[in-house]
Amino acid sequence: QVQLVESGGGLVQAGGSLRLSCAASGRPFSTGAMGWFRQAPGKERGFVAAINWSGDITPYADSVKGRFTISRDNAKNTLYLQMNSLKPEDTAAYYCAAGSSVVLLRRRVTNSWGQGTQVTVSS
């Protein structure tokens, strides 16, 4: 029952950084976890990172470990994805999602999706 609004996408050179935001409305205790997914043209939407509401579980896709950091600002009910050392293969539409648990989010089982924000990394 969470509405999600994403922002922060754009064009960046390889090696650069970008910070995505996802503003959530609704009761925070109604959602067990939130995460980020991405989808390139002609590709299936894939898992990037997730975080549970207690903050002690933050799984990442192997392809982004060490480069991306998922976090949240509880006071603002906002989810973030800090993306560093960006590569052209990171180019995709990035989506914020909410689900009942981190385990389910990693399997793309979600309750809500954001509208998506485009990230383009030039070489």
Q: Which of 60-64, 102-106, 113-117 has the lowest mean pLDDT?
A: 102-106
Q: Which two tokens stand for residue 100?
A: 């009942």
Structure tokens at 20: 């995505």
The answer to whether 95 touches 38, Cβ cutoff 8 Å, is yes
For residue 37, the model assigns a pLDDT of 97
Mean pLDDT of 51-61: 92
pLDDT at residue 16, as a whole number: 98
